[in-house]
Amino acid sequence: MPVAPLSDAEFTWVRDRIAGFCGLYFDQELKYLVERRLLRRLEARHLRSFGEYLLYLQRPSAGSQELSLLVENLATNETYFFREDFQLRAFREEILPEIKARKEATGEHRLRIFSAGCSSGEEPYTIAMLILESQAFSDWKVEILAGDISATMIEIARRGIYSAASFRVTDEYYLQKYFTKLNGKYQILPAVKDLVHFNVLNLLLAEKSPPLLNLDIIFCRNVIIYFNLESKRQLVAQFYRLLREEGFLLLGHSESLMNLSTAFRLRHLRHDLVYQKPPHEGKD
């Protein structure tokens, strides 16, 4: 028997439940997408209606796990190596040298970076390759932390094996230097992989993860565009607390902190505009 269409009330309930859980928000015009993805979960659970599925989500014994699986089905995972090159040039040529000079003046040799919403790992591995290429941090403790709400994407990232679609803008130089061919695909080398630590992570709860404290740089690119206003503000405030003084926040090219936060200052670098956590008042 065909499943009855998802009602507006059912859509609103699911949408709000997802937004409260992880911040992802779906407007009314995306109801068709939510309905299609919900149908997959109905079939997986052998349920006969969306109403039954909503009741299943409310069960204490299974609801939270099922909600995570639903979010995996709904999340957008479009990514590739060396995405938004202009920002990566700012990172490589301006941000990294600035951080190094500031830390060397105090005798500190530790660099901590967080890739928020890392999907299948192309972004944090790109960051690692750029750091290795700079040769400026060879005697430093470099930690690249990467998190995504999708356990499936994190597993792919940990494997570090990619098809041609992930290299649509990657220079052949990086393929030859940092990958090996494996059954028609490319596997990232251990020298890169060892710099990155992946974890399944709900970004709205990132502050509860102790390894994410005292960060120098947060990459959160093309992520907050999928959040509702309240979740965006919550996430940005959390990033502010996780960053060290003078740490950097890098957003996607279509994202900004307008109407979200006034805590950061906007830096006009040569290659891009980035956000920076200011030092405490009175500090030079």
Q: Which positions are annotated as active-site residues?
A: 37, 148
Instruction: Decide if 95 contacts 217 (C-beta within 8 A).
Output: yes
Give 137-168 as a 3 state SS string.
CCCCEEEEEEEECCHHHHHHHHHCEECHHHHC
Nearest-CA neighbor of 244 among 143, 162, 163?
A: 143
Residues 6+ apart with CB under 8 A from 74: 18, 24, 26, 33, 34, 37
Q: CB-based burial of residue 39 (10 Å sphere; 0-12 exposed, 13-18 middle, 19+ buried)? A: middle
The H or E element spanning position 266 is: strand 265-268
Nearest-CA neighbor of 251 among 216, 276, 279?
A: 276
Radius of gyration, CA atoms only, the chain? 20
